[in-house]
Amino acid sequence: MSLSDWIEELRDMVRRRFWLIVRLTVLGCVAALLYALSQAHEYTSQAVLQVEDAKVADALAPPTVSGADARQLQIVEQRVMSHDAILDMAAEVGVLDEMGGLPDSEKVSVLRRSIRVSGVAAARTGTSGDGAISLVRVTATWGDRETAQALAEEVTRRTVDLSQNKRLERAEETLSFFTLRQSRLEAEVADLEERLATFRQRNDMPAEGARASQEREIEALRAEILSVERQMIVLERQLEREAGGGNLTRLEERERDENLARLNDLTEQRDYLTDSLAAVSAASEIDPALQAELTKLTRNLETMKEELASVSESRKAAEIGFQLESEGQSEHLTVLEPASWPDYPSTPSRKKFVVLGVFASLMVAFGIALLLDLMNPVVRSAAVMERDLGFAPVAVIPEAPRGKRRSMLMRAFRGRRAV
């Protein structure tokens, strides 16, 4: 079938189904108009929050609370969108009066669908993202401009307040933890020092300072004994040389006697020093089991003191972080763009609905008319018969207009009645 034949049949179909197409199109237009009129306008207001960096460099005052990221924003959003919080916010804005007939669960669902809080990821500093955000968008959609803007403003205010309160709460909890930990460690260190002192006193052990003093005294005694023995060796060799020399003069004899006396003095001095060394060494000697227990207690005390020093540094850092959070000097959310005034509805235009409805109705009407013709394949002209069957009809009886046919039938009927 050529294009001209197809166009001719389509035109013939339109002539036959004209009133059906008109009726269906009118019904579709009416339905589209009613649907467009039933659609209420909605307005959207949007506010933008910015993550402002800390005013003090992290290298000088490292924060104790992590920066704004997607997880922190999600926690804040969950608190803002909680059941009681969102109902309280709606009551403050005055939205609950518009939903007076709905249960609380339905009110919460409607409000949650109307409010949205989303974050914009910050620029990456490395090969992978760390979840940090730079902007937060708050969007509120409602049936009138005033309520939409009021909802966006209230959600913005609560988001900023909750974010600041959450950071301050975490900083305070961190400071409380390290303060409590420091107090416990100080008490444990004091208790262990008391136990160590009691252990030394019960077992007659010198204190740590006295122990070091005894060790120094032992070293000094050993050095002095060594010096005396060296002097004695020198005198003994000299006496041996004098004894092997034969007859001695008076002067040599007197010198020998002096050396002997001096050697005796050195011997007495060495004996005294040796006794002192033995006494000091005996006093410093400790039973191995007691020494092991003392070493264990001392090691535990040193470990606790190191941990206490580390906790003290952490507490100081936590105190600085809490001060920064309290004074608003750390990273926080600020309003970059307040809630906007919606000039136009955010929903599609009603005119657009009507135009699309008219076009769709017309297409559906044409489709139904074409489908009816396809369901009833009738040979309606000699050209169609010749094209489909391959031969021309013998005769073609034209279709009489309905009005004329009816008038002819009425005249025939009346003529018969008159006869």
Q: In whole angstroms, give the CA distance from residue 35 to residue 252.
A: 144
Tens digits of per-residue pLDDT, 50-77? Answer: 887 666 655 555 555 555 567 788 888 8
Extract the tokens encoding 372: 């009816």
Q: Which helix (H) or strand (E) holds 337?
A: strand 332-337
**Span 394-402, average pLDDT:** 59
Give alpha helix (H) positions in 285-349: 288-326
Would you give the DSSP letter of residue 244? T
Q: In whole angstroms, give the CA distance from residue 46 to residue 135.
A: 13
Q: In whole angstroms, give the CA distance from residue 176 to residue 323.
A: 13
Name residue 138's beta-bridge partners. 47, 117
Of 203, 160, 152, the residue nearest 49 (C-alpha): 160
Per-residue model confidence (pLDDT) at position 418:
39
Give residues with Cβ within 8 angstroms of 260, minimum separation 6: 239
pLDDT > 80? residue 130: no
Contact 90, 345 (CB under 8 A): no
Distances from the Cα of 177 to the Cα of 112, 172, 407, angstroms: 36, 9, 107
From the CA atom positions of the chain, what is the Rg in Å? 54
Tens digits of per-residue pLDDT, 147-197? Answer: 889 999 999 999 888 888 888 888 889 899 999 999 999 999 999 988 888
DSSP of 63-94:
-SS---BHHHHHHHHHHHTSHHHHHHHHHHHT
Give alpha helix (H) positions in 94-144: 104-114
Tens digits of per-residue pLDDT, 367-385? Answer: 888 787 777 766 566 666 6
Would you give the DSSP letter of residue 57? -
The CATH code that applies to domain 43-175+330-337 is 3.30.1890.10
Tokens 């005055």 — which residue?
94
In total, the chain counts a number of residues equal to 419
Confidence of residue 416 (pLDDT cuts 50, 70, 90): very low
Name residue 135's beta-bridge partners. 50, 120
Per-residue model confidence (pLDDT) at position 77:
85
* pTM of the predicted model over 0.95: no
Confidence of residue 390 (pLDDT cuts 50, 70, 90): low
